[in-house]
Amino acid sequence: MSTVIPHWVNNAEFVGHNSASTAVTNPATGAVTGRVALGDSDDARKIVDAAAVAFPAWRDISLAKRTAILFNFRELLNARKHELSSIITSEHGKVLSDALGEINRGQEVVEFACGIAHLLKGGFTENASTKVDAHSSLQPLGPVAIISPFNFPAMVPMWFFPIAIAAGNTVVLKPSEKDPSASLWMARLWAEAGLPPGVFNVLQGDRTAVDELLTNSAIKAISFVGSTPIAQHVYTCGTAAGKRVQALGGAKNHAVILPDADLDLAADAMINAGFGSAGERCMAISVVVTVGPIADELVAKIAERASAIKTGDGALDSDMGPLVTQSHRDKVVAYIEAGEAAGAKIVLDGRDIKADGGADGFWLGPTLIDHVSTDMSIYTDEIFGPVLAIVRTNSYDQALDLVNTNPFGNGAALFTNDGGAARRFQNEVQVGMIGINVAIPVPVAYYSFGGWKASLFGDTHAHGVEGVHFFTRTKAITTRWLDPSHRGINLGFPESG
């Protein structure tokens, strides 16, 4: 019988009364390694109630004590992150080095949150009016929910929960049911770091659990990362229930390669950005836009490099692991077949890859498709797999128009040695994150992460100062102490003076 992967509430495992569960697999072997509990509404309410009960005491704990616990968590995470990377690889499939890189980027946000006291300072004005002082304070919202995707089971939750907790909120994390164990590992680490019961909780489940978070009045804010259709649902339902919502959606990230670019650098970058984590990244480059006569040479360089990638078990000596599930692998293959049927040229075909892993693993090798047009589904849809599409253009303006007319606006990159072209691109391109000769422009923790257009619903990005803003709200306080000159009745509107 498979092990049940439980919820976490009040610093302890909680199986829940609902007996429903779903299989968790090792993508490199296809073997079922456990079954994750699927929380129903009652389970969700129990966990939300625990976060609500814990909130007043956590809100009132001093900033010094909060940040001390955060520092403890950071030190424990740094010392034992190889344990977490192995868990991620076993359930997601990405290679160990990639899993470790994910954790390191998440740890940057933990470190940022350790210094949150400076960002939680309010303002103070003495004698704003005669013998009247004015000041402001930033206070936490209450219990908040994080709904995270399968592709980054550690990093994406860490975009949100360190800041939320440091600011004085309590948290309910709903991880993907495809790779849920990382969330429990982090929950245990929080308890070991000294976080009080009920401050960090894990609700396992599917849409039933999510819908309870979206409608439960105790949850004051929702942070979501996932596909655009679900992001729209989360934003619509959450805001209708009066919640603050940041819902990060899908992407179709373009890399524009100008004729003056270093093509070897560009080819290396396209391999790394297109095939890292088997393309299962919201910041993956999925469209390479060539400008002018360089297309043939660049495609040849990418194909040469991609054909040398070793696909296999992420726990072994591999460059790229499997896709997360068999159904997702089949969906990506269907896009390749549709592109081929529509007239695109398959330069490198990953459908029949001989992988270094189990015969029943969810394998798909690097795939390079040339002569893609903008009406093909392989261009219009977010594929989320190891597929690079080449779109050929004749000019910078044509390439820029491709990026700007695309409904997604997560990230984009430009490869060039022309500083003027780079400055123009970063000013004119309509996306949230831009790389100049950087293919995966994920901002450092003290800048914000988030896209434009259909890649974000809500007005606040993740982490950085915007994250602090999202997880706090402002009080403006006006005070006057005993002053006989202000006695008497005056029904006029109060004025400064």
Structure tokens at 456: 């974000």
State the catalytic residue, choosing from 282, 332, 348, 412.
282
Q: How far apart are CA 433 and CA 439, in angstroms?
A: 11
Q: Helices (DSSP H) in 115-227: which residue ranges?
A: 155-166, 181-193, 207-215
Q: How far apart are CA 177 and CA 161, in angstroms?
A: 19
Residue 258 and residue 291 in contact, taking contact as beta carbons nearer than 8 Å: yes
Q: Measure Cα distances from 371 to 109, 295, 399, 420 in Å.
A: 40, 10, 14, 29
Cβ-count burial 427-454 (b if 16+ within 10 Å, e if not): eebebbbbbeebbbbbbebeebbbbbbb
At residue 250, what is the residue type? G
Q: How far apart are CA 96 and CA 355, in angstroms?
A: 17
Classified as helix, coil or strand, 214 is: helix
Q: What is the DSSP string of 334-379?
A: HHHHHHHHTT-EEEE--TT---BS-TTS-----EEEES--TTSHHH
Report the run of H or E that residue 140 belongs to, with start and end. Answer: strand 132-140
Annotation marks residue 282 as catalytic: yes
Catalytic positions, written as ranges? 282
